[in-house]
Amino acid sequence: MRAKTGDRVVTHGRTVGQPDRVTEIVEVLGRDGEPPYRVRAEDGHESVVSPGPDSTVTPAGKRRRR
């Protein structure tokens, strides 16, 4: 998984009815775009993540389909 600042990490809900969690990458901490990433959620909370198989990266400028 490779990403850059501004891309979005979408972590899919693990149980039925749980919404996806969408965060924006504010800093790439790994080498050459690799994880971990510092991300910011819509509520302003920041955390460091290493996305797993339940996550995808959406390039900056592309919107998620609903």
Q: Does residue 3 lie in a domain region? A: no
Rounded to two decimals, the pTM is 0.84
DSSP 37: E
- The tens digit of pLDDT for each residue in 13-57 reads 888 888 999 999 999 999 999 999 999 999 999 999 999 999 999
Confidence of residue 59 (pLDDT cuts 50, 70, 90): very high
List the domain range (segments joined by +) for residue 14. Answer: 8-58
The whole-number pLDDT of residue 65 equals 52
- Can you tell me the distance from the alpha carbon of 44 to that of 46, in angstroms, rounded to the nearest whole number? 6
The verdict on residue 17 lying in a domain is yes
Residue 64: inside a domain, yes or no?
A: no
AA letter at 12: H
Residue 66 above 60 pLDDT? no
Does 37 reside within a domain?
yes
- How many domains does the chain divide into? 1
Q: Indicate whether 28 belongs to any domain.
A: yes
Query: Which helix (DSSP H) or strand (DSSP E) does residue 17 occupy?
Result: none
pLDDT value at position 3?
A: 95
Whether residue 66 lies inside any domain: the answer is no
